[in-house]
């Protein structure tokens, strides 16, 4: 049955187109964020906003007891024998299986370069030697958007892992889009370690976890299979952290391995659908996030420009006040001093210096200030001069203090901000709209889109 499923998945031209569109959307979104000159990540960073570029593929983490068929499932999906399989403990580390141009096996360091999101794994002692990437040239249609993470089989008891396997799986689970838990019916299914890890993963990511009864063709008769399912379900329900009573557990097997020709129902296409569904959700989420990020960038630019306008008008007022105080601080002592000197100097001297008309004019203009001086007893003239000196100092201080300016943007900075805002609002949002339309067209068809 699932042989047919697989045929359908690869040969359907609509499917092929679907994946190509999704792939292109995710790629384009990624480059809108990381593009050298006008990447959103850099634009946002200049506004002190931290954005993460979206990933181009979804990550599917496979966990389960030893020999549950995790690696075999990956090989089946990819249609290429990339992972070693067998009854022995085959997978000992973490392997990222992804599609690429050339069949290649990469080391731990290369893996972290390829998947910088997962670089925290490095902090776990001993993991690096057990980290690898297998690049497959498989043209299996959905595979171009998926990275599988194969994990070591989980066993109880004396088995010693060269690193903290539980912790590593929990970390990977934090970043995976889907977590497939494989239970096989051959006795290992109720491995405590698996249940413990699932319970802990479930605390944070219950919606990402999907359970499968793998190698279902080996489960014996229908009654045996039901019994195994019951046991696993009961065991899961006993865990307070799982709370999964009545959950769905499709039975799956790799069709080619069904040597006993078991007639058990194979729901392996459920896995393919689940992967597809997650890809579609990821595409939608990525486009929605793009819209939100554009909005946030525009708001921040507007805020910054508004702040700059406020600062500029504040500075204008500050300069005005400063100039006024400065003027007063400068002019007041001169006027008073000139008058004081003029009134203390004898009329004859003034007349000889300025002429008769000049001396009279000076007297008229200085009359108010002269009367001020006259009202002060001559003994206090020096004190008054001291006070005036003090007032002048205060005025000059006020002039300096009130003309302190707020920082403003240069003309070039403003232009760059405005350009970025226009680019984000017009260009990026325009691309986002076009991509959304393409996405919708491939799923509902153009006739339904207004």
Residue numbers at the binding site for ligand GTP (CB under 6 A):
64, 66-72, 85-87, 89-91, 152-153, 215, 217-218, 253-254, 257
Name the binder of 250 from ligand GTP, Mg ion, none, CB < 5-8 A by kind. Answer: none
Nearest residue relative to ligand GTP (C-beta) = 153
Contact pattern for Mg ion over residues 48 through 87, marking x by CB under 5 A: ----------------------xx----------------
| Minimum distance from residue 217 beta carbon to ligand GTP (Å) | 5
* Residue number, 153 or 333, with CB nearest to ligand GTP: 153
Q: Is 194 in the site for Mg ion (CB under 5 A)?
A: no
Nearer to ligand GTP by Cβ, of 143 and 253: the residue is: 253
Applying CB under 5 A, does 90 fall inside the site for Mg ion? yes
CB of 153 to Mg ion, least distance (A): 6
Q: Could you tell which of ligand GTP, Mg ion, none binds residue 217, using a CB distance below 5 to 8 A set by kind?
A: ligand GTP
Residue 254 touches which of ligand GTP, Mg ion, none (Cβ within 5-8 Å per kind):
ligand GTP
CB of 214 to ligand GTP, least distance (A): 6
CB of 181 to ligand GTP, least distance (A): 11
90 or 235: CB nearest ligand GTP = 90
Residue 28 or 217: which CB sits closer to ligand GTP? 217
Which is it for the CA torsion 85, 266, 185, 243, positive or negative? positive
Interface with Mg ion (CB under 5 A): 70-71, 90-91
């Amino acid at each position: 049955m699932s042989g047919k499923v697989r045929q359908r998945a690869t040969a359907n031209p609509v499917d092929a187109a679907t994946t190509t569109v999704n792939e292109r959307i995710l790629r384009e979104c990624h480059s809108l964020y990381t593009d050298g000159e006008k990447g959103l990540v850099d634009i946002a960073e200049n506004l002190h906003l931290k954005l993460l570029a979206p990933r181009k593929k979804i990550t599917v983490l496979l966990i389960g007891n030893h020999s549950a068929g995790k690696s075999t499932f990956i090989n089946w999906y990819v249609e290429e024998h990339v992972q070693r399989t067998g009854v022995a403990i085959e997978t000992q580390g973490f392997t990222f299986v992804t599609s690429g141009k050339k069949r290649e096996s990469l080391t731990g360091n290369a893996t972290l370069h390829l998947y910088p999101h997962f670089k925290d794994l490095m902090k776990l002692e001993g993991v690096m030697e057990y980290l690898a990437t297998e690049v497959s040239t498989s043209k299996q249609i959905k595979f171009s958007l998926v990275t599988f993470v194969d994990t070591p089989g989980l066993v109880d008891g004396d088995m010693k892992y060269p690193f903290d396997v539980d912790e590593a799986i929990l970390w990977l689970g934090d970043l995976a889009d889907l977590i497939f838990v494989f239970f096989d019916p051959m006795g290992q299914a109720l491995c405590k370690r698996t249940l413990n890890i699932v319970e802990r993963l479930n605390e944070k990511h219950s919606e990402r976890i999907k359970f499968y009864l793998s190698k279902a063709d080996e489960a014996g008769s229908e009654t045996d299979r039901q019994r195994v399912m019951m046991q696993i379900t009961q065991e899961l329900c006993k865990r307070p952290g799982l709370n999964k009573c009545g959950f769905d557990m499709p039975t799956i097997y790799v069709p080619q391995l069904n040597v006993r020709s078991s007639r058990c129902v194979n729901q392996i296409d459920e896995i393919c659908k689940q992967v597809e569904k997650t890809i579609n959700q990821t595409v939608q989420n990525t486009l929605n996030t793009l819209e939100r990020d554009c909005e946030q960038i525009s708001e921040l630019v507007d805020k910054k420009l508004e702040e700059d306008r406020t600062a500029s008008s504040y500075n204008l007022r500050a300069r005005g006040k400063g100039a006024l105080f400065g003027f007063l601080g400068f002019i007041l002592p001169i006027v008073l001093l000139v008058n004081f000197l003029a009134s203390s100097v004898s009329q004859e001297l003034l007349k000889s210096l300025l002429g008769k008309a000049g001396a009279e004019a000076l007297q008229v203009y200085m009359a108010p200030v002269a009367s001020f001086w006259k009202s002060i007893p001559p003994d206090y003239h020096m004190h008054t001069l001291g006070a005036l000196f003090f007032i002048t100092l205060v005025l000059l201080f006020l002039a300096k203090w009130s003309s302190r300016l707020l920082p403003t943007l240069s003309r070039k900075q403003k232009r760059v901000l405005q350009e970025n805002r226009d680019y984000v609002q017009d260009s990026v949002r325009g691309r986002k709209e076009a991509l959304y339309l393409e996405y919708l067209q491939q799923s509902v068809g153009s006739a339904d889109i207004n």
